[in-house]
A and B are shown apart, each in its own frame.
Chain A
């Protein structure tokens, strides 16, 4: 049965171009509604855009069903809970606490910002590096890359899908941290107007808006890091190598930032911009700092995206 079916499919595919069967011309000439021809596999029904979303959907499905990636999200979600519980349990009794801790103890929304400042420089980048670094190298190492490209997924198309997937994971990581911190904060600490770093007080609603802005900003920061990880991922067939290289790069950046003599290059290092999200805690919001950061993220995405493309589009796939 399957044999007969595929035989007819081949026949249809082999029709001489330019020659239209008589029955078909007559149908068109008579302007009859076409007889209910089966809506069989017409390649035209699958537009390139639809096919692109299908591949991206498949990619996201793999990423967000993979236990490893879910565990990382879970760990990141647990950190704000631990911070919140710790502050609640030990924070109130002792004297001489730092300002930020006092701020959290005083308002539930502040836990989100505190969690971000704990996680944004190390743990969140680790999670994003794992997904970004694994993206091409992981497929190459498993040998599935050759079958994806022979399908043919298309090199540029696959690279764009891989990048969007890693970027979405970056935003997801940020959103998960924010959500977990928000829920923990609301459960453990008093709600009400928020006192900012500059001493001004804003309403709770505006506080939530500012959290949303910081999520967008940090998510984009993670997307920029994902571009770096993706670029490194195109250079190796060992995903742990690409992941480690991304991490090493981040740590080197942190070290360079700590050396005062090198302060002239500090503004160009990616992690320098990660912590700019505290601009939302000023009054009014320091949009200039946010804009600076976003510009840097855009530049990193452009630069490392190009490196990834230049490397991947001409690479010999021998794995």
Chain B
């Protein structure tokens, strides 16, 4: 990983939504703010635009306001100020088309997995009772829980509970899926399964809004992302545009740092920085092989040469000047 000198400041990436709602967005928020009674501002003037059909990663360290935002979108918490729109519909008509997983699974421990899904299906006034059994069987099969359908929830493992929660989110035909930390508590195998499931759901045209504090996870499965920090939006846009804000750097390992730095400078590379045993510079439009050839041609002993592309973590560090809290 490379150190980034980008100054913390103006967010880059796509611009926040500018007034008009085009109808192409699954979720739009404008100046969405939540201040809890204690005075703590959980979400601060959030302008979010989630395009339909995208897999949207909602990123931020723990406590950055992701879950509060999701709770507002689902009508569980009322905003202090600002507006939001889900699927461009009034809340009561939008929510039946939204499947949600909020802050981990919660079910009735004394009921079986199947009976639990029946309970939540009964709560949805638009869900037809006639097809309930079929839809429940289908969503249980989709998450691989068919065999445990009759087992009491109390006896489910952590991974099974998480999968049951995803099954509940898939009970009806959904246009939007909101998944809050869907891989929390899952083993690597379970994490891979969830990722595959998200891709499969997105392939059907469903918009997936997935919050996570794991940057690498979002990079792997999302097309778009927004980054939160202490309740404020730091950046949003496509993954490519977010990464594109930071440039790739070339790193040369060499004992002759001074010579290497000079060569890189004459090649026209910007921001050349020699440091003990290595030199780094912005790659720009240069091909790594020509850089290598030039270095060798000038007699610089090249021990290693690598191109370091910025990750979302670098983006975050670059924007906030802080490390991303990865524990929890």
Does B bind A?
A: yes
- Tell me the A residues contacting B by CB distance below 8 Å: 2-3, 5-7, 9-10, 13-14, 41-43, 45-46, 48, 50-52, 54-55, 57-58, 62, 66-67, 142-144, 146-154, 157-158, 314, 316-318
Chosen A-B contacts, 12 in total, with CB atoms closer than 8 Å, are A7-B205, A10-B173, A45-B128, A46-B126, A55-B122, A67-B110, A143-B104, A146-B106, A147-B102, A150-B75, A314-B78, A316-B77
**Smallest CB separation, A55 vs chain B (Å):** 5
Give A40's nearest chain B residue, CB to CB. Answer: B131
B78 touching A154, Cβ below 8 Å: no
Taking the complex as formed, is B142 at the interface, i.e. its CB lies under 8 A from any CB of chain A? Answer: yes
Q: Indicate which residue in B97, B125, B168 contacts A48 across the interface (CB closer than 8 Å).
A: B125
Count of interface residues, chain B, beta-carbon cutoff 8 Å: 48
| Contact indicator B128/A317 (Cβ below 8 Å) | no
| One of A41, A48, A142, A150 near B102 (C-beta < 8 A) | A150
CB of A149 within 8 A of CB of B75, answer: yes
A152 and B122 alpha carbons, distance in the complex (Å): 10
B78 contacts A316, C-beta separation under 8 Å: yes
Residues of chain B in range 53-84 having any CB-CB distance to chain A below 8 Å: 71, 74-78
B124: nearest chain-A partner, CB-CB: A151
Q: What chain A residues lie within 8 Å of B36 (beta carbons)?
A: 316
Residues of A within 8 Å of B97, CB to CB, are 13
Partner of A147, one of B91, B120, B122, B173: B120
- Interchain CB contact under 8 A, B76 and A6: no
Which chain B residues lie closer than 8 Å to A157 at the CB level? Answer: 125
**6 closest A-B pairs by CB:** A143-B106, A151-B123, A58-B122, A152-B95, A51-B125, A9-B173
* Bound: A14/B89 CA distance, A: 13
Asked if B253 CB lies within 8 Å of chain A CBs, one says no
B256 cross-chain contacts in A, Cβ below 8 A: none
Task: State in angstroms the CA–CA spacing of A43 and B130 once bound together.
Answer: 11
Distance in Å: Cβ of A140 to nearest Cβ of chain B: 10
For B11, what are the chain A residues with a Cβ–Cβ distance below 8 Å? none
Segment 74-112 of B: residues with Cβ below 8 Å from A: 74-78, 91-92, 95-98, 100, 102-104, 106-111
Given A45-B128, A54-B122, residue A62 in contact with residue B106 (CB < 8 A): no
B76 near A3 with CB under 8 A, answer no
Beyond A151-B120, A151-B123, whether A146 also contacts B76 by CB under 8 A is yes
Q: How far is the CA of A76 from the CA of B121 in the complex (A)?
A: 34
Q: Does B204 contact A (CB under 8 A)?
A: yes
- B91 in complex: contacting residue of A5, A152, A153, A158, CB < 8 Å: A152
Specify which chain A residues have a CB less than 8 angstroms from the CB of B98 in the assembled complex: 150
B127 sits at the interface (CB 8 A): yes
Q: How long is the Cα–Cα vector from A41 to B131 in the complex, in angstroms?
A: 7
Q: Is the CB of B76 within 8 A of A43?
A: no
A62 vs chain B, min Cβ distance (A): 7
**A152 touching B96, Cβ below 8 Å:** yes
User: In the complex, which residues of chain B have a beta carbon less than 8 angstroms from the beta carbon of A66?
Assistant: 110
Report whether A2 and B120 are in contact in the complex, using a CB–CB cutoff of 8 Å: no
In the complex, the chain B residue whose C-beta lies closest to that of A47 is B125
Cβ of A71 to closest chain B Cβ, rounded Å: 13
Say yes or no: A147-B126 contact (C-beta < 8 A), given A10-B175, A10-B205: no
Q: Is B259 an interface residue (CB 8 A)?
A: no
Q: Once the chains bind, are B102 and A7 in contact (CB under 8 Å)?
A: no
Question: In the complex, what residues of B have CB within 8 A of residue A55's CB?
Answer: 122-123, 125
- What is the bound-complex CA distance between A314 and B168, given in angstroms? 26
> A42 — which chain B residues lie within 8 A by C-beta?
128
For residue A37, give the distance in angstroms from its CB to the closest CB of chain B.
Answer: 15
- The chain A residue with its CB closest to the CB of B119 is A58
Tell me which residues across on chain A come within 8 A of B203, comparing CB atoms: 3
**B205 contacts A62, C-beta separation under 8 Å:** no
A148 vs chain B, min Cβ distance (A): 5
Q: Is the CB of A153 within 8 A of B123?
A: yes
- Which B residue's beta carbon lies closest to that of A68? B110
Given contacts A2-B142, A13-B173, A152-B124, 9 further A-B contacts (CB under 8 A): A2-B138, A41-B128, A43-B128, A149-B74, A150-B75, A150-B76, A153-B125, A158-B123, A316-B76
Tell me the smallest distance from the CB of B156 to a CB of chain A, in Å.
14
Report B120-159 CB contacts with A as 1/0, cut-off 8 Å: 1111111111110000001001100000000000000000
A308 to B200 CA separation, bound complex (whole angstroms) = 43
Let me know if B77 and A2 touch, CB within 8 A.
no
CB 8 Å contact bits of B200-238 with A (1 = contact, 0 = none) = 100111100000000000000000000000000000000
B194 in contact (CB, < 8 A): no
- The yes or no answer to B118 lying at the interface (CB within 8 A) is yes
- Docked CA distance A2–B204 (Å): 11
CA distance A144 to B124 in the complex (A): 14
Which residues of chain A are near B175, meaning CB under 8 Å? 10, 13-14
- How far is it, in angstroms, between the C-alpha of A57 and the C-alpha of B120 when the chains are bound? 12
- The CA of A146 and the CA of B103, in the complex, are separated in Å by 10
Across the two chains, which residue of chain A brings its CB closest to B104? A143
CB distance from A242 to the nearest CB of B (A): 18
Chain B residues positioned under 8 Å from A43 (CB to CB):
126, 128
Q: How far apart are the CA atoms of A150 and B77 in the complex, in Å?
A: 11
Q: Which residues on the B side are within 8 Å of A150 (C-beta)?
A: 74-76, 95, 98, 100, 102
Set of chain B residues within 8 Å of A7, measured between Cβ atoms: 204-205
Neighbouring B residues of A148 by C-beta, 8 Å: 120, 123
Residue of A nearest to B105 (CB): A143
Are B204 and A6 closer than 8 Å at their CB atoms?
yes
CA distance A152 to B118 in the complex (A): 14
Please report the C-alpha to C-alpha distance between residue A154 and residue B96 in the assembled complex, in whole angstroms.
11
Task: Report Cα–Cα, A14/B88, bound state, in Å.
Answer: 13
Q: What's the Cα separation between A143 and B78 when bound, in Å?
A: 18
A58 in complex: contacting residue of B107, B118, B168, CB < 8 Å: B118
The interface residues of chain A lying within 8 Å CB-to-CB of B205 are: 7, 10
Cα A52 to Cα B91 with chains together (Å): 18
Cα A67 to Cα B104 with chains together (Å) = 26
- By beta carbon, the residue of chain A nearest B52 is A14
